[in-house]
Structure 1
Amino acid sequence: MEGKIIRITYETIKKNLKTTLVLSLIFMGMAAMYSSFYPSFEGSLEELMKNFPELGFIRGFESFASYPGFLNAELYQIFWILILAIIFGYVAASLISEEIEGKTMDMLLSNPIPRYRIVLEKFFGLIPLVLIVNFATMASVYGITLAINEELNFVNLLTTHVLSIPYFLAIISLGVLVSTIIDKKMKASMVVMAIVIGSYIFESVSLLAPDYEKLGLISLTHYYNPAESLIEGNIDFNGTITLVITTISFLLLAMIYFERRDIEI
């Protein structure tokens, strides 16, 4: 039984090796590109801030003229917390749904493996994807920073990437939950993508409109702000704890639902 459990995690990791490699290369390249852009734009960033005050919904935009602020606005506040989260959610939403849709779930269920363990091990199988893409991107940012001789606190950079792990795991656990509910792979992925985008929009609206400030509280994006750690060197313990609790809650719901639901084999 335990060997089969390990096999599920191993197969999930193996299946996503290509995705891991491609995403790592893409985000390493994007990180290198934006890092190397800063010297060319450094002199015009102050003026750009004055001309586009509407970009105030970008957290940390007031520090846009600095190197960490530039990276925060150009890389982390959009491509990191939105685009990469959408991709992770898309991948996670197919973990269970594709097995059901492809009629391969019966092979797993025919073994003496509790259903909840299938869900849990599928989730564990995506953790290497998150870690490798995460720290490969961090290495690219820091390497280019040294190459162009700019100042960036390494501890702040490391903290920013470490704190992103609970955020991405919350996104993945959401994808796993939706994957246990919706049998169609593409439909499940689209639902998760819509939720992630909606979460980002809710947080942006809460920043732009004071009357809707509390709207951000229902957004996962609200609980991870790269600007706080990258620019200011602060750690949002409450936000991180909230994301950890959210991840555990989504996983528990996914395991309970999948344990009890009927599956046509």
Structure 2
Amino acid sequence: MLELATYEGRKRVKGSLALALLFTALAGMYTGTFPSIVEGMDPETLDQLTSSYPDAMIEALNLQSLTTIEGYLASQLYTVGWILLAGLYFGYTGAGLIADDVDRGRMDVLLFLPVSRSRLVAEKFASVLVPLVAINVVVPVVVYVASRAIGYPIAALDVVMMHLLSIPYLLCCAAIGLLFSVVVDRASIAQRSVLGALFGLFLLESVVAGTDFGWIGNVAPMHYLDPTAILMHGEYDLVAASVLLVATIALVGASQVWFARKDVA
């Protein structure tokens, strides 16, 4: 059981360590620069500067407040680094899960194994848990320790919940990539397509938020993860996380059905 998932997961260990180191550096950089920003400018001036940005930028970057460590990390590290960059990474990874083997002519070998196509898709998808666990174990520790080291401690529970609630979001991004991976045979096309789709959804959700067309943004997975609400207000939206998990299951199921009926050249 899960031999394929284990094999695929082992192949991702080195990449996961590199990813964890990258986000560790990013977390350390953003946390470490906060004192120089908040102490180098009057808080009122900083808030006025923030409010002068266009509404779309404020929504896109969650720029509610840069005068607190929670608001600063919510907008800089978690909106830019986590929702956007990590989301794109997992979408890109998901888009290569099936298409890469088809593109390189290795899928025929895998289909000779005594596993169904549905199980193959599910176990391939399960391998993304390796980088997912790696970054969500290492980064919150770095953020918490670094915030205490600079004299602006952040609540440990809020940091932990931020990362726990981000897991359904990142899984959903990977599931969107998986769907592209089974629909498109060329890995490069699938990966570019999902990057464009996720970035487009990020922009869409930012542009329509607070307008009469705000309901359109409900289709974007990033709509269901709000770092500012978690870190600044201690609000944990479990319903939104459940929506993302249901969407992930639906996307993986759709990918399994599509691949089961697909002719692999």
In 1, are the aligned partners of 2:179 and 2:251 still within 8 Å (CA)? yes
Distance 2:168 2:89 in 1: 16
Q: 1:89 aligns with which of 87, 91, 108?
A: 91
Matched, 1:23 2:25: no
Distance 1:238 1:212 in 2: 22
Q: Which letter does structure 2 place at the counterpart of 1:35?
A: T
Deviations 1:11-67 (A, max 9, x none): 211221222011100100010111011111113254233124224224642232111
The equivalent residue for 1:256 is 257
The equivalent residue for 1:32 is 28
Distance 1:182 1:151 in 2: 46
Deviations 1:115-138 (A, max 9, x none): 000000001111121111122111
In 2, are the aligned partners of 1:86 and 1:196 still within 8 Å (CA)? yes
Q: Which range moved further: 42-51 or 233-242?
A: 42-51
The equivalent residue for 2:46 is 48
Q: Which letter does structure 2 place at the counterpart of 1:38?
A: F
Distance 2:230 2:145 in 1: 19
Matched, 1:138 2:140: yes
Q: CA RMSD in A?
A: 1.4
Give the secondary structure class of the aligned counterpart of 1:210: coil
Distance 1:222 1:36 in 2: 28
1:66-105 aligned within 5 A: 66-105=68-107
TM-score by length of 1: 0.93
Aligned pairs, number: 259
In 1, are the aligned partners of 2:60 and 2:202 still within 8 Å (CA)? no
| Unmatched segments (≥5 aa) in structure 2 | none
Give the secondary structure class of the aligned counterpart of 1:62: coil
The equivalent residue for 1:225 is 226
1:229: Cα distance to partner? 0.9
Distance 1:246 1:46 in 2: 41
In 2, are the aligned partners of 1:205 and 1:212 still within 8 Å (CA)? no
Q: Which letter does structure 1 place at the counterpart of 2:259?
A: F
Identity, in percent, stands at: 29
In 2, are the aligned partners of 1:23 and 1:133 still within 8 Å (CA)? yes
Q: Which letter does structure 2 place at the counterpart of 1:70?
A: Y
Q: Find runs of 4+ consecutive structure 1 residues off by over 4 angstroms.
A: none
1:112: Cα distance to partner? 2.0
Deviations 1:192-245 (A, max 9, x none): 1111101110111023x5133222111111011111111111111221111011
In 2, are the aligned partners of 1:68 and 1:230 still within 8 Å (CA)? yes
Give the secondary structure class of the aligned counterpart of 2:97: coil
The equivalent residue for 1:191 is 193
Deviations 1:87-139 (A, max 9, x none): 11111110100111111111111122110000000011111211111221111
Give the secondary structure class of the aligned counterpart of 1:144: helix
Q: Which range moved further: 11-20 or 85-94?
A: 11-20
Deviations 1:133-187 (A, max 9, x none): 1221111111111211212111011000000000000011111111111111110
Distance 1:237 1:260 in 2: 35
| Unmatched segments (≥5 aa) in structure 1 | none
Q: Which range moved further: 38-47 or 231-240?
A: 38-47
The equivalent residue for 1:108 is 110
